[in-house]
């Protein structure tokens, strides 16, 4: 390798929280990276919207350009790091960079979940590579694991707690008896939730990550509108308390499974998981993903799922891979379609057990009406629980917690909706899945 080839030139688009972390850590660990890679990683241009803003760290203003198109047009730049976010301008940047013969590193989960099929078609056409470890679970190297370490395995299933904001909120509800609103406010005050936390709490952030994991695991890029998503807004403190009594913890869980008929199940929803499963002990802002391969068995990946340094660590890992591929010391790595699986499973046809919370009039015959409607939908009751008397409840109302036998989700939802129409039901019922986390 020539001395010139030992320097790889980088264009950085975006110098916000993650971009700033990447820039600073590349400088801080420049010698370490050179020693390990034999390559100098040199940021030669940075596209920013406001070059006059104080970044809180030193940066040579001569590196700034006003438009990401300047990065694409620069023949000296080998790799572009996309950290501007969004799915419109970021998509234009990524496609233009690939078509100009440059490798791309991105942490943009929404972009990949919504436009992955188009992007990887261009990757195939151009022979370039896109690296995206930072798009899923921050500092946890799950993308590289699926692409490389588990390449010889059929992925049987993956269960993920992959949104730190939701996990923090649910953890605080469970451990500090906070209401959902109180826990959300605390998360925002501590900086664990955005000023507008919608994409976190409604499940979309986790769902985008689940689509990426599923597509890598099963070799077929799934349309984002095929995923089932529920957020944590309906989870109440009483649910956390009763889940614990039943031997469960409530987590926002992403479920990814391949079925024998070649279909793929991808869903994200608050779920009860057994307290004796290791995922139940994932607390606070941490993420974890349990992956079951047909050869390796069950594996667990745990760590910080967000934040400046964990995410920049993944970006720099991708950058190192891209640089080594350019230098010829490592093959290009990217999504490879392998066509074994394809069609998404309709959410109505997925099955599990269920937790059903009801607020009803406290009078004879109510439970019989509820049981009758469940039976009409071929769903049996495992147990019925009620809060202890003397806890300040209205004597005219009753909280009922039912656990239900395994059933189709479509039948469980239909039964819930039918029960909600009963005159004795006083509030909207809450229905959550109970997951066994069986790798099969």
Q: Which residues are catalytic?
A: 209
Q: Where are the alpha helices (DSSP H) in 351-394?
A: 366-376
State the DSSP string of 165-223: HHHHHHHHHHHH---HHHHHHHHHHTTSS-SS-HHHHTSHHHHHHHHHHHHHHHSS---
State the DSSP string of 226-269: GSEE--STT--HHHHHHHHHTTEEEEEEEEEEE-TTS-EEEEEE
Tokens read off for 101: 């013969």
In sequence order, what are the beta bridge partners of 67? Answer: none
**Phi, then psi, of 221 in degrees rounded to 5:** -75, 115
Pairing of strands 79-82, 7-13: parallel
**Phi, then psi, of 25 in degrees rounded to 5:** -75, -30
The one-character DSSP state at 425 is: B
**Phi, then psi, of 168 in degrees rounded to 5:** -65, -45
Q: Taking each helix axis from N to C terminus, what angle separates 109-126 and 204-218, rounded to the nearest 10 degrees?
A: 30
Helices then strands, each counted (H, E), the chain = 14, 16
When computed from its CA atoms, the radius of gyration of the chain, rounded to whole angstroms, is: 24
The single residue listed with the structure tokens 């919504």 is 114
In sequence order, what are the beta bridge partners of 353? Answer: 434
The single residue listed with the structure tokens 């605390």 is 186
The single residue listed with the structure tokens 């998360």 is 187
Burial 142-156 (b: 16+ CB within 10 A, else e): bbbbbbeebeebebb
CA 24, 26, 31, 33 torsion-angle sign: positive
Measured between alpha carbons, how far is 175 from 121 in angstroms, rounded to an integer? Answer: 46
Distance in Å from the first CA to the final CA of the chain: 48
């Amino acid at each position: 390798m020539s001395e010139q080839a030992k320097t790889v030139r980088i264009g950085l688009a975006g110098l916000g929280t993650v971009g700033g972390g990447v820039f600073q850590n590349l400088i801080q660990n420049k010698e370490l990276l050179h020693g390990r890679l034999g390559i100098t990683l040199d940021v030669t241009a940075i596209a920013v919207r406001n070059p006059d803003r104080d970044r809180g760290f030193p940066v040579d203003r001569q590196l700034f350009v006003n438009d990401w198109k300047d990065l694409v047009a620069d023949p000296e730049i080998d790799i572009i790091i996309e950290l501007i976010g969004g799915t419109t301008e970021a998509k234009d940047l990524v496609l233009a960079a690939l078509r100009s013969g440059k490798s791309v590193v991105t942490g943009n989960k929404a972009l990949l979940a919504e436009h992955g099929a188009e992007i990887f078609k261009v990757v195939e056409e151009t022979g370039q590579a896109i690296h995206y470890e930072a798009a899923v679970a921050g500092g946890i190297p799950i993308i590289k694991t699926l692409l490389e370490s588990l390449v010889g395995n059929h992925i049987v299933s993956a269960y993920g707690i992959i949104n730190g904001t939701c996990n923090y909120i649910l953890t605080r509800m469970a451990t500090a008896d906070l209401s959902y609103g109180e826990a959300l406010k605390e998360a925002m005050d501590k900086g664990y939730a955005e000023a507008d936390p919608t994409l976190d709490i409604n499940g979309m952030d986790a769902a985008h990550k689940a689509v990426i994991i599923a597509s890598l695991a099963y070799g077929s890029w799934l349309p984002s509108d095929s995923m089932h998503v529920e957020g944590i807004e309906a989870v109440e403190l009483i649910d956390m308390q009763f889940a614990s009594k039943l031997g469960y913890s409530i987590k926002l869980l992403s479920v990814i499974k391949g079925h024998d008929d070649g279909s793929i199940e991808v869903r994200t929803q608050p779920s009860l998981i057994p307290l004796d499963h290791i995922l139940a002990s994932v607390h606070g802002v941490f993420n974890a993903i349990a992956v079951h391969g047909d050869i390796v068995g069950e594996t667990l990946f745990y760590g910080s799922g967000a934040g400046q340094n964990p995410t920049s660590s993944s970006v720099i890992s991708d950058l190192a891979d891209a640089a080594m591929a350019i230098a010829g010391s490592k093959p290009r790595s990217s999504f490879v379609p392998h066509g074994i699986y394809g069609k998404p499973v309709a959410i109505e046809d997925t099955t599990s057990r269920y937790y059903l919370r009801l607020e009803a009039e406290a009078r004879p015959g109510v439970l019989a009406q509820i049981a009758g409607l469940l039976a009409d939908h071929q769903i049996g009751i495992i147990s019925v629980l009620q809060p202890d008397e003397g806890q300040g409840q209205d004597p005219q109302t009753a909280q009922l917690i039912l656990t239900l036998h395994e059933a189709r989700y479509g039948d469980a939802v239909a039964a819930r909706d039918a029960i909600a129409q009963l005159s004795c039901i006083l509030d909207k019922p809450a229905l959550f899945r109970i997951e066994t986390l069986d790798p099969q």
